[in-house]
Chains A and B, each alone.
Chain A
């Protein structure tokens, strides 16, 4: 029983940071690759094309 609780706890303690890292990653990727604000688009223009993101 104790082992079970420990295992569940360990899994959860890793799941939350992993989820947070993934959300942060998607947010940053949306910012560099997808947000259409003019300044961001112009600065990242060549990278967006070269990385295969939909641009324009």
Chain B
């Protein structure tokens, strides 16, 4: 039984992670590199002169970008393990798990791990002002965990109690509030920060749709093989 989890998660996570890594390198990395020019002080805006919005950016870096690909694959393999655990429990409750239904599970994963935390802790470019890392991580885990429970209640709960509970769990972390910096000190133009957050969330959604579909597909195929 556990080998079915491992095999499906490895295949789904590695393939979705590789595609996501490539998408990130093309769509997100240039924005990050642009922001780093301001983080390091190579560019300064609101100085005496206007600054070009189209500076020369460093190109492909084999070590740096290679590591990014590897870590993206690892991250999405980790997400695949969590997703498949939820999928198998859903299957017990009558949900159909395949490549097509997997898309819906993927969207749910995106909501839990990207959109819910990102609603108050938007994806950050390097160089922004932010609160203490430990408190932000605790808030991030609590928010993602609460969203997971909430989405499960929305999907499998019956009755108003479950649905209202889900709404409370989704809103509570944002009513309490995410850790915020004491003052703003980010040197990066707001245009770059906004583009980065939008791109990170967009690629996150693409990643999770791929991951959900692949996880559903491999879960079904591994099940058919062992049956």
A55 to B196, CA, bound (A): 14
In the bound complex, do residue A28 and residue B81 qualify as a contact, i.e. CB atoms below 8 Å apart? yes
Query: In whole angstroms, what is the CA distance A25 to B2 when docked?
Result: 13
Whether B92 lies near A52 (C-beta < 8 A) is: no
CB-based contact A56/B133 at 8 Å: yes
Which of B47-55, B122-130, B149-157, B165-173 has 4 or more CB atoms under 8 Å from chain A?
Answer: B122-130
Count, chain A residues at interface, CB 8 A: 34
Q: Which of B9, B126, B140 contacts A53 (CB 8 A)?
A: B140
Q: B32 in the interface, Cβ–Cβ < 8 Å? A: yes
In the assembly, what is the distance between CA of A56 and CA of B137, in Å?
10
Q: Is the interface of B mostly helix, strand, loop or mixed?
A: helix
In the bound complex, residues from chain B placing their C-beta under 8 Å from that of A28 are 74-75, 77-78, 81
Is the CB–CB distance between B203 and A50 below 8 Å? yes
Size of the chain B interface, CB-CB below 8 angstroms = 51
B75 touches A18 (CB 8 A): no
Q: Tell me the minimal C-beta distance from B120 to chain A in angstroms.
A: 11
Contact A26 B78 (CB under 8 A): yes
Determine the residue in chain A with the shortest Cβ distance to B145. Answer: A26
A residues apposed to B, CB below 8 Å? 11, 13-15, 17-22, 24-29, 31-34, 36, 43-47, 49-56
* 17 A-B residue pairings within 8 Å (CB atoms): A14-B92, A20-B5, A21-B9, A21-B84, A22-B82, A24-B78, A25-B81, A29-B75, A29-B82, A31-B74, A45-B126, A46-B68, A49-B124, A50-B24, A51-B200, A54-B133, A56-B133
